[in-house]
Structure formats: structure tokens, C-alpha cells
Amino acid sequence: MSTEAAPRTPPETPPGAEPPGRRFDVGGLLRRLLVAREMGVLLALVLLLGVTLSANPRFLSGQSLRDLLLGASILVVLAAGQAMVVITKNVDLSVGSVLGLSAYATGTLLVAAPGTPLPLVVLFGMLFGAVCGLVNGAVVAVAGVPSLVVTLGTLYVFRGLDSIWASASGRLQINAADLPAGFTSAGTEALLGVPLLAVGAIIVVLAVGDHLRSYRSGRELYAIGSDGAAAGLSGIPVGRRVLTAFVVNGMLAGLAGVMYAARFGTLDATAGTGLELQVVAAVVIGGIAITGGSGTVWGAAIGAVLLTVIGAALPQLGVSAFWQQASIGALILLAIGLDRALALRTARRLRRWDTRAT
């Protein structure tokens, strides 16, 4: 007596999942693009530009566009580094002070050795910022102190060191005339019509974005931000990854300090004051959840550009400085509220899927 094997039945497709045979769904791709947070920020940017251009058609003229790109470049670099930290469910409030300290260190180096090649100047500023990031990361990752407390303290420590350094050197301010002409011209020169600083910012965003997407160490940052304890149990070196994120963030803040020195030329102990809040705002508005574990560096870069355009566009529309700050605060609250709403919606969908599966 022979028994025939029962024919295999294909497994049921979970609700909302694509059939196994479907390889590419154009409609699904378009839907994902339309609901992406980055797309929403980009649409807000386009809308703001359209309204401003209707009020002032010369808003995006040649020089105005160059000024916008130059203004956004430094903030974009800072936002790229901050994105790595926030993805791990941390925050660095000291980036403005690190920028100021690195900018003053760069200016001091060029005053003492005006013949220093530009690549070495850039490397010096990045290493200087990396040391500051190492201090932050070591206290957060090794000592386990909350990053908000640590970086709030180092914000004032680094700013105080900058003031002490400037006072002790007898040079409270470094002027553009004190810096080599080749260095200051790098802050205004362009490559194929695009300012060099903007080209540098684009390279930074591409590099950080590729690392977060394509490398294991980058993807592990998302796992740490989603659930640090589970990430540790799965073998991810949580402390080392968090430390690396802070070091890279400090390194990019140091690079931003070099860019700041090249663009403005005039350096003192107040350089970069207040930038830390703009950087955090750019990251949050750009779609990176303040609770960690989600978002992209592309969104952070678009958020930085949006904030720069807001600062330039609202005066063209006759909006007072008070309402400019209020609009940024409203965008931050809107972004946090949207993150919370999306998280609750995702949780409800998962519960419904579990119910149907059982």
C-alpha cells in the first residue's frame, strides 16, 4: 500500500505583503516616495521657494543663490554628523562650541604658519574636532552618562576654553586680513558655478549616507537607536558604535569650523554660538526621530537647507525675526508630533497583523 504525498500548498501571503512573484511594483514605490518624511520636507521647501519667488522674483538670482548655498553648507555638514548621533538615540548639543573652537584653532594655525597647505589645514580642523567628539563619546559610552547632560556641559566647557585661549594669546579676534588669501578665497570660490563649500557639503552627505545604508557598522546604529539592550544581546558593540558616532560628529564639526573660518575670516570666541539648536532642529525636521532608530542623512540635509531658506525668505515676505524663530519651533513640534503619530500607527498595524496571523 503506497501513500501519496499531499501536494504542497504555497504559504499564505501576510496581509500587506507583496506576492512572491512580484519583483518590482512601481505603484508601491511611488506610494513610499509620497509618504516619505524627506519628500514632505522637500515639498515644504519647494512651496516656500515658490511663495518667496512670487513676492521677490530676484530671490534666486545668481548672487542670492550663491549666498543660500554658502549659508546652508556649514549647517548641512553639522547636520550630517548630528544625524549619526541622533539615530543612536543620543544628541550632541556641543557642536556649535566645537565648531567655534576648531575655527579659532584653524585661524591660529594659519596666523602662525601661513604657508600650511589647505589639505593639512582641513585635516587639522577635523582632528581637533574629533578630539572634542572623543571626550563626549567617552563619557556617554563608557561612563553611561546621558548625552543630553554631557554635551550640555561640554557646550560651556569648549566655549570657555575658546575664550581662555583667545584671552591668553592676546588676540581676541582673528581678522580676514590676518589669514592667507588662498585660504579665505576658498570660502567664496566655485566649481562649475557651485561654491566649493557646497561641493564639500554634498560629498559629506553622500559619504555619510552611503555608510549608514551600505555598511554593517552604519546599519548597526539604527539597531542601537531602536533597542540598545537588544542590540547588545545580538552581539553589536554598542559602546564602540556610540563612541564612533560621537567622534565622527566631532570630526565633521571640526570640518565645519574650517569652512566657517574660510567663509567669514573674522574669528573670535563667539563663533558658532547658537548653531547647536539649528542643527538639532534640522535633523528632527528632516525626519530623524529624536527617539532614535529611524531617518536618513538625506532628510537631515534637506532640513538644514529648509532652515536656511526660512532664514532668508521670511524677511523677504515681511515676517519679523520673532516669527522666524517661532516658525522653526513650530516645525520642530510638528516633526515630533508626526514621529509619534507614525509610531502609533505602525504599532496598530503590527497588532492587527499579529491578530490575523494567529
- Paired with 190 in beta bridges are 195
Please state the rounded mean pLDDT for residues 21-49. Answer: 61
169 found inside a domain: yes
pLDDT at 205 over 70: yes
pLDDT at 236 over 50: yes
Of 319 and 12, more confident: 319
39 found inside a domain: no
Q: Which of 38-42, 62-66, 80-84, 219-223 has the lowest mean pLDDT?
A: 38-42
pLDDT at 3 over 80: no
Structural domain range at position 258: 65-338
DSSP conformation letters of 303-349: HHHHHHHHHHHHHHTT--HHHHHHHHHHHHHHHHHHHHHHHHHHHHH
Number of domains in the chain: 1
**CATH code at position 282:** 1.10.3470
| Helix, strand, coil content of the chain in percent (nearest 5) | 70, 0, 25
pLDDT at 284 over 80: yes
357 found inside a domain: no
Of 100 and 37, more confident: 100
**What grid cell was written down for 229?**
539592550
Residue 191 three-state SS: strand
Please state the rounded mean pLDDT for residues 189-200. Answer: 87
Predicted pLDDT at 323 = 74
214, 78 contact by CB (below 8 A):
no
5 found inside a domain: no
- pLDDT category at 79 given cuts 50, 70, 90 is very high
The crossing angle, in degrees rounded to 10, of helices 62-87 and 275-285 is 80
pLDDT at 106 over 70: yes
Q: Which of 71-85, 166-180, 288-302 has the lowest mean pLDDT?
A: 166-180
- The DSSP call for residue 240 is H
Predicted pLDDT at 343 = 62
The Cα–Cα gap between 30 and 221 comes to 27
- pLDDT category at 34 given cuts 50, 70, 90 is very low
138 found inside a domain: yes
The Cα–Cα gap between 47 and 45 comes to 5
Predicted pLDDT at 100 = 93
58 found inside a domain: no
Q: Which of 201-210, 234-243, 283-292 has the lowest mean pLDDT?
A: 283-292
Per cent of the chain over pLDDT 90 is 40
Predicted pLDDT at 358 = 65
Per cent of the chain over pLDDT 70 is 83
pLDDT at 334 over 80: no
Average confidence score pLDDT of the chain = 83
Greatest CA separation found in the chain? 102
**What grid cell was written down for 311?**
532664514
Residue type, 138: A
The Cα–Cα gap between 221 and 81 comes to 13
Predicted pLDDT at 24 = 45
The crossing angle, in degrees rounded to 10, of helices 196-214 and 62-87 is 30
pLDDT at 148 over 90: yes
Predicted pLDDT at 347 = 62
- Paired with 3 in beta bridges are none
Predicted pLDDT at 22 = 45
pLDDT at 133 over 70: yes
- pLDDT category at 2 given cuts 50, 70, 90 is very low
301, 202 contact by CB (below 8 A):
no
Among 107-111, 264-268, 318-322, top mean pLDDT goes to 107-111
321 found inside a domain: yes
150 found inside a domain: yes
DSSP conformation letters of 211-233: HHHHSHHHHHHHHHHH-HHHHHH
